[in-house]
Amino acid sequence: MTDAVAVTGIGVVAPCGVGKDAFWRGLLTEPSAGDRRVPNWDPQPWFNNPKEARRADPFTQYALAAAAMALEDAGDLGADPARVGVMVGTGIGGITTNESQIVVQHEKGDRRVSPFLVPMMMPNAAAAAISMRHGFQGPCEATVTACAAGTHSLGSALNVIRSGRCDVMISGGSEAPFTPTAMAGFRNMTALSGSGESRPFDQARDGFVMSEGCGILVLERLERAQERGANILALMLGAASVADAHHITAPAPGGAGAVRCMELAIQDAGLATQDITYINAHGTSTALNDAAEANAVAKVFGTPGPPVTSTKGVTGHALGAAGALEAVALVQSIQHSLIPPTFGLINPDPELPMLDYVIGEARPWTPGPAISNSFGFGGHNGSVVIGPAS
């Protein structure tokens, strides 16, 4: 616990709600089938004028909005800008801008391609935009590790504070992947659900439901947060990152990488496996991922083990933003002493270990250390351990 870092602010843009209160209500509400898009998105409240908004790809728009919410939630930081950093992960960055401008070039020629193409499509655009908007001059980086990017960003931010380099880090993940070609690619590799339903760990699961959004957390040196009287929402206790070194899309057999990742994150938090009281699973609703994760959880914690849920039953899979959205959800579970159910999970797959899935309705919970997992194409594994402030 000596290396714990305070979470003092959260901000979120998600299909089930914009803002932490709407997001929480959404996590407790059964979703409709189909893609999970942010409904009726209007970026204007977070930009000075329409031109400024048009010069930001949607994934950057989401990040600026979520960061603004998180910073407002954190209150007056009063921090030296040189000691505030930004780390925002993404899976595919500004693909909306990239794809639209490829069409422009193909149909209208080189001279019609926007001069803003490169700064809008680059994966570091979201982190850079937050840094420039708020004048933060510490490390400003983008982690691009597919579906583990948000979780990896949080782990890296935690370690920057632990190292003494920064007092505050603005960290999370953002994604806006809904382009025709991206959707076709995922569909043709049979990763997407044909039914349009996200059913993590269910025997009828048939792929993930695409999503988008952004989650941002304000992480702060614990002693500093206490000294300024901040409202400490939770503690970031530990993190880990490992590689499967196995296959570009399939997880390692038996979830071997996930096992090592969870064990290392728990060790990094200075805890034992029996200290973990809740698991926010990656739980994508794909056959291979759910099987690998369920087997990994059983190997680490035994069966039935701690309560397990996947909020992707509501949010869908937001790729590089997924881990950040789930970290926000975990912080809110701590705040509300409640674990959201895994919507879409009706009949747990009998071929998987029988874990303690939270099904049907939210479960009251006495908050304790909890782990959140993310596993990405390329064999990227990430876990973070988050616990209550007291």
Q: At what angle do helices 322-336 and 149-162 cross, to 10 degrees?
A: 70
Q: For tokens 């570009």, name the residue.
A: 248
235 beta partners: 6, 387
* Residue 350: strand, helix, or coil: coil
CA gap 312, 83 in Å, rounded: 34
Can you give the three-state secondary structure of 181-243, one letter per residue? HHHHHHHHCCCECCCCCCCCCECCCCCECEECEEEEEEEEEHHHHHHCCCCCCEEEEEEEEEE
Note whether 244 and 381 are within 8 A (CB).
yes
The reply to whether 317 belongs to the active site is yes
Of 16, 147, 166, 261, which is the active-site residue? 147
CA gap 176, 42 in Å, rounded: 14
The reply to whether 106 belongs to the active site is no
Of 214, 261, 282, 380, which is the active-site residue? 282
What lies within 8 Å, CB to CB, of 312 at 6+ separation is 198, 200, 208, 209, 211, 282, 283, 284, 285, 322
- Burial of 242: CB neighbours in 10 Å, binned 0-12, 13-18, 19+: buried
Of 152, 166, 317, 380, which is the active-site residue? 317
The reply to whether 282 belongs to the active site is yes
Active site residues: 147, 282, 317
